[in-house]
Structure 1
Amino acid sequence: MKVVYLPGPKSPLEIREIQDPQPGADQILIAIHYAGLNHRDLWMKLGQYGGKKEDLVLGSDGSGIVKEVGSAVDKKWIGKKVFVHAAQDWGPDKNAQGKQFTILGNPRQGTFAEYLAIEAQYVYEIPAYLDLKNAAAIPLAGVTAFRALFTRARLKPGQKVLIRGVGAGTALFALQFAIAENCAVYVTSGQDHKIDQAIALGAKGGVNYKNENWSTTLQEMAGQFDVIVDSAAGSEFGKLIELCNPGGTIVNFGGTAGAITNITAQRIYWKQLNILGTTMGNNEDFQNMLGFLERKKLEPIIDKVFPMSHAEDAFKRMEKSEQFGKILLEIKS
């Protein structure tokens, strides 16, 4: 089969032929049609991610059609349209992943391949209202946003929400989910056109975080927030504390802006704030996310689809932060 192969950090991606996988007893073999690109894949390509560094077939998101099943799997799966949940071996504690936790695409083969053999417990039938392309955009970003908002921040209808850094897949799912929950949602971005696109999707407003005094402008526009979703951290994290309502929640799942500095502890405890970390989601989170999607009939925002042979261009688009929505690879045309 053909795969998008990463020889090592900062190396050009290659299209290689490797042996087709065979499903184990508890596995399903999927003919992948579309795969979703995540920042995790980019960080591995740039050598900025832990774990295995060389000889990788990346990709955590994928959709396709079941070709074969292992001996312990019901044959009814054959021919079904499915997608995969990338968070594996979460462990018994719903509150946090265990030491055995792994994410599809490193170290084991990911979805940037014509075929994927994966345990049946991580395979889900695609809701009837979604096609294979839309489905591939959902898993990792969707479950991360869902867990951040509902499992961790315990979002309630009518609350005021800030999404920091809108444009990438997870932030856009958070935007869509919060709007669907009848919340008043505001955004920040470093690009004005992305703010305009978020408003077109239903955001109440937004500010460009590259502007001086952006947090003051935002507070004058919207007041303070009940829930803030953050994936950047960095030196301006303290401004989120000032933007949060007393008793409010900041939930973080990334650190693209670097280490958190300039935090005044007194502001956290005096405002009775909840500052929470989150990453990915367990199988229950994934199932709850699917139920939410089906009830609300939400579709992901897809930025651009690249042929498998142009994977390098897809990575460059993400590295330049040009996308608004999910970047996909078409594996099987």
Structure 2
Amino acid sequence: MITILETSALNTVQDLGRPGYRNLGVGSSGVMDPVALQVGNILLANQPGDACIELQTYPFVLRFETATSFTVTGIDADITLDGRPVLPWSVETAAAGQVVRVGPPRKGARGYVCVAGGIDVPVVLGSRSTQLRGGFGGMDGRPLEAGDTLTITADSTLVSGYGACPPSAIMDDVGDSSDGRVINLRAIPATDYALFTPESHERLWTAEWRITPQSNRVGYRLSGEALRLHHPIELRSYGIVPGIVQVPPAGEPIVQLADANTAGGYPRIATVIEADLWRLGQARIGARIRFHECSHQQGVAAMEPIRSYLDNLRMMVTHYRKSAQRRNGAKPGDKA
């Protein structure tokens, strides 16, 4: 059991989302940074789809009512366990009654509190993710509040003392922004790309776009010089998935994200590839992003470094946990 002691707005229970219902008007939801959640679940030997707490606002404080192992991924921040500093992206074991505090991030935007066995809230349409707009999933379809209690799936295997390198530390960035102040994203020209002027095409790929305060889990609104169509056009509504870059009449793009609408009608100029959505999910309000054109084949191939990173981490964790069990005298066949 977990008790929330302090939280700000918009912190929610999330997992990898609920695909398969967009045709019924139900978005996928899920974490904004799926790589960070997968890392947390691998570190704790959880199932890939186990739920976590996604943090968007800080500080966040919780108390463990039962002993459990946990990790905080996604961000670089000051994290303490009963006042003792602990490292992000590493596994720690908390005793019953101990308190974890997560401070504002120095790097990244969204943190993921993962616990051994995962957060146990009701499954709705195949997922535990919170759908704030629909008011379902997670904790009664709403953000977490101080005083909330969350059940965690029991796991008698308490192992700690290891961690992961953040993906940003080992995966090559896109583009040439060595100062780290620009987030580079690969994108594929979308269905309506040819409807935009050549000047808009060039602007899309060369300009730096700023994420405005009018941004959230639904989508990031970007500010910059307007993108223009050859002539005004009205489109029939079409299905939307995270990553699509739409251009409203004012000409400033919107990138659809985890809580994306299921349908829309603005012209589509590009789509951020799946392999880079985690980078966008960790972008802060006010950050600048730059799009880099790539092909469909390049977008598919870009997933391979992520799969390799996660596979290597999974192998390391399995080896470490088995070694720890042997040191602790566990019997063969016990859960690793």
Q: TM-score, normalised by structure 2?
A: 0.27
Q: Name the structure with the higher helix share.
A: 1
Q: TM-score, normalised by structure 1?
A: 0.27
Structure 1 or 2, whichever has the larger Rg, is 2
